[in-house]
């Protein structure tokens, strides 16, 4: 099992499911998928159009309809959520996802108010990945450090921030978008 850093996406999932809010800390790299059995684009296959922020496009590994691809997509989703101060990049890689919408809206509201978050980092370990047709479920375990939220003056924002979370198991549900050749996040749920 590989480890990635927990980001605000997971903390936001915890927010809706376990009473927390959010944290932000970026993971600058994503693990490579070496176990995929799907064909790599060849010289005669056109390149996939980029998805995600211009400075952080989705890696090819996350655009494969395999278990490893679903895991790489989850890693990418978490990294995008951590790197972006705006909600739009999250909206671009999700579909009808209440948690994703909440996180995106909160990011936009926080940006408008000048709020900044810190903390929320910790390990995420994939437990199991299941792909059935156009649906994927990645079951993972996570922990997160305490999250603090401050206003533009550096003062703590009342009723914001979260305590540390340990050993929380979540499900990430995804749907395959044939037209864009990518997974889209549809739901997070606590196990």
Whole-angstrom distance, CA of residue 61 vs CA of residue 67: 10
- In the prediction, which pLDDT does 29 show? 39
- The pTM of this model reads 0.77
- In the prediction, which pLDDT does 19 show? 36
CA dihedral 118, 119, 120, 124 (to 10 degrees): 120
Cα–Cα distances (Å) from 21 to 11, 16, 39, 119, in that order, read 7, 8, 40, 11
- In the prediction, which pLDDT does 46 show? 65
Phi and psi at residue 10, to the nearest 5° = -70, -40
- In the prediction, which pLDDT does 83 show? 87
CA 73 to chain centre: 8
User: 48 Cβ partners below 8 Å, 6+ apart?
Assistant: 41, 60, 63, 181
Please count the other Cβ atoms lying within 10 Å of the Cβ belonging to residue 154.
7
- In the prediction, which pLDDT does 121 show? 83
Phi and psi at residue 165, to the nearest 5° = -125, 135
> Could you give the angle at the alpha carbon of 173 between the alpha carbons of 119 and 101, nearest 5°?
60
Predicted confidence pLDDT, tens digits, the chain (191 residues): 333 334 443 444 444 343 333 333 333 433 333 333 344 444 445 688 999 999 999 999 999 999 999 999 999 999 998 889 899 999 999 999 999 999 999 999 999 999 998 888 888 899 999 999 999 999 999 998 999 999 999 999 998 989 999 989 999 999 999 999 999 999 999 99
């Amino acid at each position: 099992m590989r480890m990635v850093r927990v980001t605000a996406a997971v903390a936001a999932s915890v927010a809706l499911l376990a009473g927390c809010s959010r944290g932000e800390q970026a993971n600058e790299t994503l693990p490579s998928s070496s176990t995929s059995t799907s064909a790599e684009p060849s010289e005669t296959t056109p390149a996939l159009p980029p998805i995600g922020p211009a400075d952080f496009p989705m890696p090819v590994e996350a655009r494969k309809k395999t278990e490893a691809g679903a895991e790489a997509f989850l890693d990418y989703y978490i990294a995008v959520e951590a790197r972006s101060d705006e909600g739009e990049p999250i909206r671009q890689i999700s579909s009808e996802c209440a948690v994703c919408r909440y996180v995106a809206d909160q990011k936009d509201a926080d940006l408008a108010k000048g709020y900044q978050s810190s903390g929320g980092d910790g390990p995420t370990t994939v437990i199991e990945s299941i792909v059935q047709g156009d649906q994927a479920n990645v079951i993972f375990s996570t922990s997160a450090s305490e999250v603090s939220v401050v206003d533009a003056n550096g003062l703590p924002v009342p009723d914001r921030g979260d305590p540390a979370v340990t050993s929380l198991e979540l499900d990430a549900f995804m749907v395959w978008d044939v037209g864009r050749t990518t997974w889209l996040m549809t739901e997070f749920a606590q196990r």
